[in-house]
Amino acid sequence: MRLTVQRLISIQRLTQPRVNRLGALLALLATALLNGCAGDKSILNPAGQAARDVVMIWWVMLGFGTVVLVMVTLLWLFTFKRKEVTRTPVEERRVARRWIIGGGILLPVASITALLAFGVPTAQRMLPLPLGEPPEVIEVIGHQWWWEVRYPGAEGGEVVTSNQLIMPAGEPIDFHVTGADVIHAFWVPRLGGKIDMVPGRVNKIRLEADEPAVFGAQCAEFCGAQHAQMQLYVEAVERDEYDAWLAARQDDQLSTLATNDQQHEPAREAFMNHCASCHRVAGLSSGNEGPDLSDLGSRTSLGAGIMAMEEGAVTYWLQHHQQLKPGNKMPPHDDIDTATLASLGAWLETLTP
């Protein structure tokens, strides 16, 4: 699966004296196709029990579908070869009925029953059924086009962040999801099935990551122009690392972080004038029209995955966000001079708990 095109082609060269064009082409095609099987958003690379169940169903369905396709194709080819047989109308009807009952009723009933037998226990496993010890709850709220993530059970008080989801590995987690504006869907392909985020309703799904790893997640319900650019960084970490991560994001910690550096006073003032109505920075503002920025410096990306977080990235985002993510719900900051935007960017990058 991880073979590169060059290696595949050179293997071809070794095994055959003449370069086999068709072989090379097939290798190229296979690499292109199989590349989709790796990656942090592939259902074919499960990292938890629910996802393993899903991929099992996927393989069974693919296998069964392939058998049916081959059978139907063979039957179809057979009709060209077959010798003319003469049947009375009664016989003709009997044969036709057999095909209808066998292929049209028995076969679908048998396959759908088998599918249900597989599918129901899988879905059951993702239901938040009562457990001896109730799992940790993480709330995920879909907005156009970003993710709000809340930890209501955090010791010391609720923790809020955006566009990143840190979870403990090796234990089941109940995700309570909803939508703030339109219907979105929460989907971490390597952990399990997707679930709709419907405004006014809380849907629940239980997922577990086997071990610490980074996963991709994606909004899986079309929600407007920037739906494709609504990605979520998911990271499963050891339990104690998770607890430390939460502790560092307690309100009092974040407030000192946001306010203690005198050098950034002008940026804070600009923030209160231009940004506070939409964004929360713990200790300063409580806007909720845009992502919480209290721990922005510690993120891996900006704009729900549209650009990597690195030095200067926030300033770049502030200046170009309508080109990077056209139509996103943050107004262009044309009315704010470049120096102020740069000071805002520099300050927000220091918000690293």
49 sits in which H/E element:
helix 49-81
Q: How far apart are CA 241 and CA 246, in angstroms?
A: 9
- Partner residues linked to 148 by β-bridges: 141, 162
Helix (H, G, I), strand (E, B) or coil at 95: helix
Listed in sequence order, the residues at least 6 apart from 333 whose beta carbon sits closer than 8 Å to its beta carbon are: 274, 318, 319, 341
CA distances from 182 to 49, 256, 291, 339 (A): 30, 35, 16, 36
Identify whether the C-beta of residue 217 lies closer than 8 Å to the C-beta of residue 124. Answer: no
Work out whether 291 is an interface residue with ligand HEC (CB under 6 A).
yes
The least distance separating Cu ion from the CB of residue 10, rounded to whole angstroms, comes to: 42
Q: How many residues bind ligand HEC, per CB under 6 A?
A: 30
The least distance separating Cu ion from the CB of residue 231, rounded to whole angstroms, comes to: 10
Work out whether 41 is an interface residue with ligand HEC (CB under 6 A).
no
The least distance separating ligand HEC from the CB of residue 328, rounded to whole angstroms, comes to: 4
Helix (H, G, I), strand (E, B) or coil at 64: helix
The least distance separating Cu ion from the CB of residue 249, rounded to whole angstroms, comes to: 26
Q: How far apart are CA 353 and CA 297, in angstroms?
A: 8
Q: CA angle 113-119-125, nearest 5°?
A: 145
Site string for ligand HEC, 132-171 (x = CB under 6 A): -------------xx---------------xx--------
Q: Which is nearer to Cu ion, 9 or 330 (CB)?
A: 330
Work out whether 302 is an interface residue with ligand HEC (CB under 6 A).
yes
Work out whether 227 is an interface residue with Cu ion (CB under 5 A).
yes
Residue 312 binding result from ligand HEC, Cu ion, none, given CB thresholds of 5 to 8 Å by partner type: none
Work out whether 274 is an interface residue with ligand HEC (CB under 6 A).
yes
Work out whether 227 is an interface residue with ligand HEC (CB under 6 A).
no
Binding region for Cu ion (CB under 5 A): 184, 219, 223, 227, 230
**Which residues sit at the interface with ligand HEC, rule CB under 6 A?**
145-146, 162-163, 226, 274-275, 277-279, 289-291, 293, 296, 302-304, 314, 317-318, 325, 328-331, 333, 336, 344, 348
